[in-house]
Structure 1
Amino acid sequence: MEAKTRVLPLLPLRGVLVFPYMVIHLDVGREKSVRAIDETMLRDRFIFLAAQRDAQIDDPQPGDIYEVGTVAEVKQLLKLPGGTIRVLVEGVARAKVLRYVAEEPFFRVEVEEFAETQTGNSHVEALKRSLISQFEQYVKLSKRIPPETVVSIVSIEEPGRLADIIASHLTLKVEDKQELLEAVDVAARLEKLCAIISRELEIVELERRINIRVRKQMEKTQKEYYLREQIKAIQKELGEKDERQAEGEEYRAKIAQAKLPKEVEEKALKEVERLEKMPPMAAEATVVRNYLDWLLALPWTKTTRDRLDIAVAEQILEEDHYALKEPKERILEYLAIRKLAKSMKGPILCFVGPPGVGKTSLGRSIARALERKFVRISLGGVRDEAEIRGHRRTYVGALPGRIIQGMRQAGSKNPVFLLDEVDKMSTDFRGDPSAALLEVLDPEQNSAFSDHYIEIPFDLSQVLFITTANYPYNIPRPLWDRMEIIQISGYTEEEKVQIAVRHLIPKQLKEHGMTKEHLTLSENALRKIIREYTRESGVRNLERQIAAVCRKTAKQIVSGKVKRARVTAQNIEKFLGIPKYRYGLAENADEVGVATGLAWTETGGDTLSIEVTLCKGKGNLILTGKLGDVMKESAQAGYSFIRSRARQLGIDEDFYEKFDVHIHVPEGATPKDGPSAGITMATALASALTGRKVRHDVAMTGEITLRGRVLPVGGIKEKVLAAHRAGIKTVILPADNKKELEEVPPHVRNKLKVIFVSHMDEVLAAALVDEHPPAFAQTENIPVVAWSQA
């Protein structure tokens, strides 16, 4: 192989490479390159072309240019506007840079030119034939090169020239072309080119298969598209406009974008076909449109990602709510299990407690802790099954039920769904909504909840359902069986103070446009509001009273009377007026025939005064105070027990023939029922008949039997809290209720003396003032079981 050296101007190429025998136009714009072309035209028109390693570099250095390039002859030169030159060059021979003679004002290099050797052995001939065969196959598949060009290329006899011409017609990377250019040996060049074409053939074949597959998938869609376009063109030509077709197309586009489950998509498309066949103004068309809108609006596949960080959830729950230890623990347990078991079905929690204790806001905090959507619906007064399951589309004005409406509002499949006031549902001729809720709340059924309007099963298994109720006994039993009951009792006075300081006061100040600089409430003022202006288990009325203070202060500030108000226990009446309730002892002094009982109400626990008076008569038992049947029976049982113990109590045994007994429970307009006032009425009866006073600082609760046994009752926590609020010092409870006392906060238990009793004799010994001890108290050993941490 002969080689010769020569000094030539160098033209760096960006993104292109020139082979020997290749004719190509080049646009030259860089100042150095223009000078190199000018020098070439002044001399013998030969120039050295070499590609840049990186096409992005504007001012390449010798190290940025490949060493192997092509010696080319400039055939034509055309100056374009803007200083750019277009040159037509033809590759002559391969060459390699030996050294850079000069770098300014343009590159001048000494190159070693390689002469093409003619090799005619059988190996080269075989490579040549293989190359031609692969090239023809490539052209046939890719269809990027005209057939006449292929004929002229394959007729070239010289193997090296054939390889260069074929390489120049292929769409290859500069790096691949550079490898072929550097292959001086013809056999090596042919082998590399065969490998490159083989690789390109695989890519082209893969593209062809993908195109065939896509074409098959698109055939049906394209056919429908073309047919519809033809219909549109015909209608346009006739001057008609098919509104139904346009509406159908719009719905089809929405269905395609919604990515609905297969079953839902098929149902929606069928409804679209029905819609297209109906007159636009038909009443049925409106029904179908509404139905399609509901299908498209529901979150069939959309979910939100749970935040399962227990530390963050605990922080959020503590920020939003003070106390409520048991509900918070249960929520954190749910999060922990959810983190371990990803496919856990949503539990159904039921918060039971009086109004204003934070049941609804606790559900909202759970949603915030989980980073889920929150939906709330109220079931109070719902008596129609269709409110839950929806109406069938055959009815005028039909709509889905509240569950599906809530899911649409949430926009995800896994919201926190609060069903408020589940104990206030009722039943009539329109069905039983509580029975319809079974399908919603039962984890075994709600994965395919069927709404009468939607008609397609909707998955509710990922929803975290939370229900609330004020009175547990009004919750339908089938629902009770499927829910986890969490009792939320009333707050103690100290808890109310903390809630007011941490939450209520900042909230009301913000809502009234004030800051701490405008208004401050002392703790003593808050305690007076709690004691004398509210009577509740929750904090709803407390918040109203704080809002009233804020309003009064705002008026004074705006009128210019004050710049800052400080509310204390001494001046609270200027803001809220005369106290509404009497705080302190249930009774001011020991009295005959008056006993203090403890009752459970929907607003929490409360104290209950029971009065008994005697008057001459024929032994009638009179009961007043709007008492229920159970409470009347408790009064009868207590009366019979006292009669049976008349001798031991020192009472005339035939008193019932001489006196009428009148039992009255004050606040006569309020209905009262239940057995828990039994021992209280018996104590008041014993006091009235014996003339012994009842201790005013003692309150009691318990059911009485004819034998004088004291049976357990419910609502112990609420009743004890009520006694504490009323300033009671001693509480008498049934012995069987000792375990329930553990639910009472320790700081409340420590301030009360709790006596557990199992017989009425123990109650009388603890409750009656022993001014003249009767015979039974001296002769009989009456055990008193005391439980006190005072």
Structure 2
Amino acid sequence: MTSGGGIQIPSRLPLLLTHEGVLLPGSTVRFSVDSPRNMHLVSQRLLKGTSLKSTIIGVIPNTRDPERDSDELPTLHKIGTAGIAVQVVGSNWPKPHYTLLITGLCRFSVSSLLKERPFVLAEVRFSVKLTCCNSWTERFKKALPMLTRQIEGLKLLQKTRKMSPDHENRVTMFPGRQFSLEEEDEDDDGDDTAAIERKVHGANMPEAALRICLKELKRLKKMPQSMPEYALTRNYLDLMVELPWSKSTKDCLDIRAARTLLDNDHYAMDKLKRRVLEYLAVRQLKTSLKGPILCFVGPPGVGKTSVGRSIARTLGREFHRIALGGVCDQSDIRGHRRTYVGSMPGRIINGLKTVGVNNPVFLLDEVDKLGKSLQGDPAAALLEVLDPEQNHSFTDHYLNVAFDLSQVLFIATANTTATIPPALLDRMEVLQVPGYTQEEKVEIAHRHLIPNQLEQHGLTPQQLQIPQESTQDIISRYTREAGVRSLERKIGAICRAVAVKVAEGHKVTKRDASTPEDSAQQDKVSPPEMPIVIDHSALKDILGPPLFEMEVSRTTTESGVSSVQLTEQHLQIISSVQTCTLVYLCGLVGLWFYIIIIPPDKDFFFLVC
């Protein structure tokens, strides 16, 4: 038999038994040889032979050579490939073996075995169906019926097979390997630029962004995968197709339902609720309304962050919080340029990618605590983001293309406006969030704080009750703040103390008194009566002595100073002395008012608190 390359192949071939793979005609494969028969084949045939015929052997796949020479030969695969050994390398570590580099010539079928030792020798018959045809035309003529028959067989299997859900759309073609008849997921193939191109055209991005994506995609097709820039370009295109260029959520414009939801989530805060309802009302009258830029300014703990989340739920929009406290790099807002190693987009673009819509509610938390460093001023970078006249074309350094932020509802929170740059403050609508009064704190505690703490500590209202008088004592004697965070912590301390009593009571009731002494001990630690009501003495036992004492009402009247009465609620001016003309209410810190009194024709003033 003569191969396509003009090599004369004998009809008797020594057989190399291997289970590592399949040698196909025209391919070159390395095989490791360490079994007795294969070692004899290499040492006695390949290494001692002096002619070209001595380097031609047959390779039988899916057959493992026995580890001992005395073992019987297993059943051989009937089809093999004749190949020429172009390289033989021997080694003694970790054990004696050879590595063969074999190039396939043509297929054959085993007619009969001539001998089994020291190596396998067989009479073979060559297949002249396809691979040994010299002409490409003959090969195509012979291959076309085979492919047609294979396709028809696969279609028949797809119609008639009954498979389990685990193996749906799978057909076994070779032992141990399965192929899917359905189209594989596009994301599984990292080199499928056609899939990326379909995503780019389906992203509904603006014309400028589409033009840049197609340009980058054209560069990507020309790059080899080994280039570092290939991964950077691929990540850029993935981000571009994932951004919500035209995806948005539909606003819930029911004002009555919005008012009910806001009232259920937060008590008081009438000014903030009224501003949200005004926005909904205007949205009903005009659909193309730009998102407002709001800034909630107030002391800590009054619920500025939580009311932002409630606004998003009221509007039916996605919510994303961006913490700006301590940020001192403008790249956190506008991203890095793609020329830098490890570059990434800013927090605004990352937030849009996370929520997946272009009209979410963004909460810029602690905007008054932005820093400044050598990497730039992030407050200056926010000028474009929070300007309704500019944010319709916000340009991130990483994207290098404009993105429309006009539909985003930005809500900033701050404790004071003193540290916010004037240019940034001028772009926001400032809404003051005052501290709660004592009556409001009592209502908030019984509506929200106490039920929440009971749930967190595994208690029920049938086990713990805190009357309003006790809540007022906690507010006035143990917490003096504008918000309710300390009040919530004090209520949590009460719940933990009651949880200990409840747990001890359950433990006592489970034990059985076997002796009179145990019965007496059980009577001493009997479970408490339910519900446990927190009174003034219980507050002192759990929270300790009061931290603040109640003020005694007093009235002072002096020349040049107004008469002031201090009550336990607040400080108020009763009357002004005749010599006083200007009285200024400076501010509220906790429960203390600071008042400046300036007498006429004097160069000094009185500070009364």
TM-score, normalised on structure 2?
0.59
Given that residues 734 and 758 in structure 1 are in contact (C-alpha distance below 8 angstroms), is that contact kept between their aligned partners in structure 2? no
Given that residues 710 and 760 in structure 1 are in contact (C-alpha distance below 8 angstroms), is that contact kept between their aligned partners in structure 2? no
**Paired letter, 1:568:** D
Q: Distance in 2 between matches of 1:465 and 1:326?
A: 17
Give the 5 Å matches for 1:24-173.
none
Q: Residue in 2 aligned with 1:444?
A: 389
Residue 499 (structure 1) aligned to one of 438, 444, 453: 444
Residue 368 (structure 1) aligned to one of 310, 313, 321: 313
**Paired letter, 2:191:** A
**Paired letter, 1:582:** F
Residue 591 (structure 2) aligned to one of 718, 722, 725: 722
Q: Residue in 2 aligned with 1:568?
A: 535
Residue 584 (structure 1) aligned to one of 550, 555, 571: 550
Q: Distance in 2 between matches of 1:498 and 1:291?
A: 52
Task: Report the structure, 1 or 2, having the larger helix content.
Answer: 1
SS at match of 1:345: coil
Superposition deviation, residue 273 in structure 1: 2.6
Q: Distance in 2 between matches of 1:539 and 1:292?
A: 47
SS at match of 2:403: coil
Given that residues 389 and 450 in structure 1 are in contact (C-alpha distance below 8 angstroms), is that contact kept between their aligned partners in structure 2? yes
**Per-residue CA shift, 1:498-520, capped at 9, x if unaligned?**
00111111112222222212211
Given that residues 596 and 608 in structure 2 are in contact (C-alpha distance below 8 angstroms), is that contact kept between their aligned partners in structure 1? no
Q: Residue in 2 aligned with 1:545?
A: 490
Q: Distance in 1 between matches of 2:481 and 2:472?
A: 13
Given the alignment of the two structures, is residue 305 of structure 1 paired with residue 272 of structure 2, yes or no? no
Q: Distance in 2 between matches of 1:281 and 1:527?
A: 70
Residue 456 (structure 2) aligned to one of 511, 518, 530: 511
Given that residues 549 and 575 in structure 1 are in contact (C-alpha distance below 8 angstroms), is that contact kept between their aligned partners in structure 2? yes
Give the 5 Å matches for 1:632-647.
none
SS at match of 2:395: coil
1:293–1:559 CA distance, 2 compared to 1 (3 A):
farther
Q: Distance in 2 between matches of 1:767 and 1:537?
A: 20
Given the alignment of the two structures, is residue 559 of structure 1 paired with residue 468 of structure 2, yes or no? no
Given the alignment of the two structures, is residue 352 of structure 1 paired with residue 297 of structure 2, yes or no? yes
Given the alignment of the two structures, is residue 470 of structure 1 paired with residue 415 of structure 2, yes or no? yes
Q: Distance in 1 between matches of 2:213 and 2:326?
A: 34
User: Is the deviation greater in 562-571 or in 428-437?
Assistant: 562-571
Q: Distance in 2 between matches of 1:495 and 1:405?
A: 38
Q: Distance in 1 between matches of 2:542 and 2:222?
A: 70
Superposition deviation, residue 549 in structure 1: 1.5
Given that residues 374 and 410 in structure 1 are in contact (C-alpha distance below 8 angstroms), is that contact kept between their aligned partners in structure 2? yes
**Per-residue CA shift, 1:690-730, capped at 9, x if unaligned?**
xxx998769689xxxxx997474643xx35x7248xxxxxx
Q: Residue in 1 aligned with 2:479?
A: 534
Q: Residue in 1 aligned with 2:50?
A: none
SS at match of 2:213: helix
Superposition deviation, residue 558 in structure 1: 2.1
Superposition deviation, residue 321 in structure 1: 0.7
Give the 5 Å matches for 1:197-216.
none
SS at match of 1:312: helix
**Per-residue CA shift, 1:243-277, capped at 9, x if unaligned?**
99833133224334434333333322322232232
1:372–1:695 CA distance, 2 compared to 1 (3 A):
closer
Give the 5 Å matches for 1:230-249.
246-249=191-194
Q: Residue in 2 aligned with 1:288?
A: 233
Q: Distance in 1 between matches of 2:592 and 2:483?
A: 16
SS at match of 2:536: coil
**Per-residue CA shift, 1:394-414, capped at 9, x if unaligned?**
111111111111111221111
Q: Residue in 2 aligned with 1:774?
A: none
Given the alignment of the two structures, is residue 428 of structure 1 paired with residue 373 of structure 2, yes or no? yes
Give the 5 Å matches for 1:650-669.
none
1:244–1:500 CA distance, 2 compared to 1 (3 A):
closer
Q: Distance in 2 between matches of 1:432 and 1:365?
A: 31
**Paired letter, 2:471:** L
1:518–1:268 CA distance, 2 compared to 1 (3 A):
farther
Q: Residue in 1 aligned with 2:287?
A: 342
Given that residues 584 and 595 in structure 2 are in contact (C-alpha distance below 8 angstroms), is that contact kept between their aligned partners in structure 1? no
Q: Distance in 2 between matches of 1:459 and 1:345?
A: 11
1:362–1:410 CA distance, 2 compared to 1 (3 A):
same
Q: Distance in 2 between matches of 1:695 and 1:711?
A: 15
Q: Distance in 1 between matches of 2:565 and 2:288?
A: 59
Given the alignment of the two structures, is residue 396 of structure 1 paired with residue 265 of structure 2, yes or no? no
1:286–1:543 CA distance, 2 compared to 1 (3 A):
same
**Per-residue CA shift, 1:150-188, capped at 9, x if unaligned?**
xxxxxxxxxxxxxxxxxxxxxxxxxxxxxxxxxxxxxxx
TM-score, normalised on structure 1?
0.46
Superposition deviation, residue 559 in structure 1: 2.5
SS at match of 2:301: coil
Q: Residue in 2 aligned with 1:407?
A: 352
SS at match of 2:218: helix
Given that residues 328 and 371 in structure 2 are in contact (C-alpha distance below 8 angstroms), is that contact kept between their aligned partners in structure 1? yes
Q: Distance in 1 between matches of 2:254 and 2:581?
A: 52
Q: Residue in 2 aligned with 1:460?
A: 405
**Paired letter, 2:287:** K
SS at match of 1:460: coil
1:435–1:577 CA distance, 2 compared to 1 (3 A):
same
Q: Distance in 1 between matches of 2:311 and 2:258?
A: 8
Given that residues 509 and 515 in structure 1 are in contact (C-alpha distance below 8 angstroms), is that contact kept between their aligned partners in structure 2? yes
Q: Residue in 1 aligned with 2:330?
A: 385
Superposition deviation, residue 767 in structure 1: 8.0
Superposition deviation, residue 762 in structure 1: 13
Given that residues 356 and 539 in structure 1 are in contact (C-alpha distance below 8 angstroms), is that contact kept between their aligned partners in structure 2? yes
1:297–1:583 CA distance, 2 compared to 1 (3 A):
farther
Superposition deviation, residue 354 in structure 1: 0.3
Given that residues 709 and 760 in structure 1 are in contact (C-alpha distance below 8 angstroms), is that contact kept between their aligned partners in structure 2? no
SS at match of 2:245: coil
Given that residues 378 and 420 in structure 1 are in contact (C-alpha distance below 8 angstroms), is that contact kept between their aligned partners in structure 2? yes
Structure 2: stretches of 5+ with no match in the other structure = 1-187, 506-526, 574-578
Identity of aligned residues (%): 48
Q: Residue in 2 aligned with 1:176?
A: none
**Paired letter, 1:477:** P
Superposition deviation, residue 281 in structure 1: 3.1
Compare CA radii of gyration and give the structure with the larger one: 1
SS at match of 1:468: strand
Q: Distance in 2 between matches of 1:758 and 1:502?
A: 50
**Per-residue CA shift, 1:30-68, capped at 9, x if unaligned?**
xxxxxxxxxxxxxxxxxxxxxxxxxxxxxxxxxxxxxxx
The CA RMSD measured in Å over matched residues stands at 3.4
Q: How many residues align?
A: 393
Q: Distance in 1 between matches of 2:504 and 2:329?
A: 53
1:396–1:758 CA distance, 2 compared to 1 (3 A):
farther
**Paired letter, 2:348:** I
Q: Distance in 1 between matches of 2:339 and 2:451?
A: 52
Q: Distance in 2 between matches of 1:550 and 1:285?
A: 58
Superposition deviation, residue 734 in structure 1: 5.6
Structure 1: stretches of 5+ with no match in the other structure = 1-242, 596-647, 650-681, 685-692, 702-706, 725-730, 736-756, 769-790
SS at match of 1:300: coil
